[in-house]
Amino acid sequence: MSRLSTLWKADPRKLLGGLGALMVAAALAVGSGANFNSTSANPSNVFSAGTLSQSNSKTNTAILTASKMKPGDTSTGTVDIKNTGDTPGAFSLAKSNLVDAPASPAFSTKLQLVVKDLGDPACTTGCPAPVTKYTGPLGAMSTLTLGTFANNEAHRYEFAVTFPDGGANGADNVYKGATSTLDYTWTAAS
């Protein structure tokens, strides 16, 4: 403190001028450390799950029923399957609960099934050709991959069952009165 009082007594203006210069330098040093800032917000972000559902024009009913078939007969039926969800889904078709009566010879090994994708049921002109998804014995069909359906996409499927003619002289007599029953299940997965 003695130096400060000595300086003050010697020349108070120089002391005040020096202190003022130090204050200006300090203010400039603090001011030059400032930087620019900017912020923006994205409030109310929402995340929700989509839905995957389907409609079946023959829910809980048979696609086709053929009775009193004889060798050479064919019976057909159609069903419309639509993705009614709001997300795409991979669709498939599987058979289950196959029962043959009598069990041997199994009528489901004799009957021939053809499953065709006829495309959009609403299509009336310039429609694509039908696509065969399965041809073979009724009982041998495994799970069919039908492709990915966009939301609101619909397909009509035709099922044709034929009792092939085994030839003359009662070759098919072993199938008289035989029956095959089964279920079809349509699955959509995302």
Q: Do 82 and 131 share a structural domain?
A: yes
Q: How many CB atoms lie within 10 A of CB 53?
A: 13
Q: Note the pTM of the prediction, 2 decimals.
A: 0.77
With contact defined as beta carbons under 8 Å apart, do 91 and 147 qualify? yes
State how far the Cα of 15 lies from the Cα of 189, in Å rounded to an integer. Answer: 86
Residue 119, pLDDT above cutoff 70: yes
With contact defined as beta carbons under 8 Å apart, do 88 and 190 qualify? yes
- Res. 34 pLDDT band, cuts 50 70 90: low
Residue reference for tokens 């049921």: 121
Residue 27, pLDDT above cutoff 80: no
Residue 124: domain span: 54-167+177-189
**Total domains, the chain:** 2
Q: What's the confidence (pLDDT) of residue 108?
A: 98
Q: Do 120 and 70 share a structural domain?
A: yes
Q: What's the confidence (pLDDT) of residue 38?
A: 87
Question: Could you tell me if residue 38 is inside a domain?
Answer: no
Q: Do 85 and 18 share a structural domain?
A: no
Q: Do 158 and 93 share a structural domain?
A: yes
3-state secondary structure of 168: coil
Q: Do 92 and 17 share a structural domain?
A: no
Q: Do 60 and 21 share a structural domain?
A: no
Question: Could you tell me if residue 90 is inside a domain?
Answer: yes
Q: Express each pLDDT in 49-107 by its tens digit.
A: 999 999 999 999 999 999 999 999 999 999 999 999 999 999 999 999 999 999 999 99
State how far the Cα of 111 lies from the Cα of 32, in Å rounded to an integer. Answer: 91
Tokens of 16: 């005040």
Q: What's the confidence (pLDDT) of residue 36?
A: 84
**Backbone angle region of 187, left / alpha / beta, with phi > 0 → left and psi within -120 to 50 → alpha:** beta
54's enclosing H/E stretch is strand 54-56
